[in-house]
Amino acid sequence: MNILVTTNSYFFDSSAISVEEPLFLNPDGTRKVFPIGWEGKGRYIPGSLRLYRASDNTLIDKSIYHEMDNRVSFEFNTAPAAGNYTDIKVKYLVDPVDYAFSQGTSDSPYPGEEYFLFPNWNNAQGIGAAFWVGKYAASRADATTTSQGSSTTPVSKKGKCSWVNTRWDAQVAACPTKGTGFHCIRNREWVSIALWCDKMGLQVYGNINGYNTGGTNIDMRGIGTDITSAMSDASDANHKILTGMGPDNFRHNGKSGGISDLAGNVWEAVDGLQLRNGVPYILSPDNSTYVALAASDISSTMLTNATINYLNMNTNDLLNEGLPVNSAGYTVQVNKASMWQNRSGTRICYRGGNCAYGSGAGVWALALNNDVSNSHWSAGFRLARALL
């Protein structure tokens, strides 16, 4: 392999917004295409992508890989062997429009709102090359630290009361009114994030235990985490925290700019998965309509505190919907997932658990036991947006 020795100043303009991040996926000997995305700040500017080894600061020759038209991923000519490039760093200049949207700068059409660009690394249907997801659970545009407000426009802002106490179908319907490409986060998008965290060995923590009783042990797997009373939602007695106000390990990637509160705090309404008289339905590849799956593929047991098999995209056309199956598939171990279901009538989907669920909450938690009229103090939702 031809390695070019250079300095860190090889291509960056001092006035440009640049990103430096590790590989989004680990080399496994067969994977050739790798997305960017640890930082989620947006697509790269064509021609700006560079790879180098952090251990000796050597640039990898661009003849070994090439950029892809989606500006979210790149491809090696030959798949790196497993274990190669463990110290690789990716550098690129960020598309300024994407950057403004992700950070909620004054140049964004949605100032103060923050979004994360997550790549479709597992080739899930209906997602495209990548999708934007709100860094925070949705709040109303006029929400404060002590009130939900009354606006009908959802936003993704830090330090606000989550939008709760509203029917599931109304929460889902509020998202497209925000603008082109906006929607309530879909099940296949949520699962793509959860699968990646699991594959990369990242534990997603959150407000799941203890704070609802006034304690400081907010997460039984994160003992010592202290959330002060100033972070509580004073509008109720259940001690949710304000959006995004937990520590960095409440973010999906353990970094301050990651997606917050996917585990606990409030259940999140998710579109794209329903049980109809026990039969699972998912969105079609173009996200236009619900289609039925084979009920025989899906486990009918209550899956709490057990090893759970999930659909394997290599052998099953259900493609990464994160549903428990009776046969072998992708496995998630004990205490990482819980499921509640009701197999009569139409039951809609919530993910993540809430602040009172303890070990039953988490990024894999799945509730399919409520109907569309469900409204609760701990039931919120999250904005997502197609890559325009």
The alpha carbon of 150 is separated from its chain's Cα centroid by a whole number of angstroms, namely 27
Q: For 71-80, 83-92, 226-235, 362-371, which range has the lowest pLDDT when averaged over its residues?
A: 226-235
Arithmetic mean of pLDDT, 316-327: 59
Arithmetic mean of pLDDT, 240-263: 91
The full DSSP string for 240-287 is PBPTT-S-GGGBTTSSTTS-B-SEESSEEEEEEEEEETTEEEEE-TTS
**What pLDDT is recorded for position 34?**
97
Taking phi over 0 as left and psi of -120 to 50 as alpha, with beta for the rest, 272 belongs to: left
More confident residue, 320 or 332: 320
Q: In the chain, where are the structural domains located?
A: 3-94, 127-388
**What pLDDT is recorded for position 325?**
57
pLDDT band for 314, please (50, 70, 90 cuts).
very low
3-state helix, strand, coil in the chain (%, to 5): 15, 30, 60
Write the CATH number of the domain with boundaries 3-94. Answer: 2.60.40
This prediction's pTM: 0.88
For β-strands 366-370 and 339-341, DSSP reports them as parallel
**What pLDDT is recorded for position 260?**
96
pLDDT band for 356, please (50, 70, 90 cuts).
confident
More confident residue, 332 or 147: 147
pLDDT at residue 319 greater than cutoff 60: no
pLDDT at residue 241 greater than cutoff 90: no
Residues with Cβ < 8 Å from 45, sequence gap 6 or more? 71, 92, 93, 94, 95
d(CA 252, CA 127): 19
Taking only Cα atoms into account, the Rg of the chain, rounded to an integer number of angstroms, comes to 21
Measured from the Cβ of residue 150, the count of other Cβ atoms closer than 10 Å reads 9
**What pLDDT is recorded for position 44?**
97
**What pLDDT is recorded for position 300?**
52
Arithmetic mean of pLDDT, 126-137: 96
Tell me 178's DSSP state. G
For β-strands 279-283 and 267-276, DSSP reports them as antiparallel
**What pLDDT is recorded for position 337?**
58
d(CA 149, CA 93): 38
Cβ atoms of 322 and 337 within 8 Å: the answer is no
The full DSSP string for 30-48 is S--EEE--SS---PBPTT-
d(CA 232, CA 219): 15
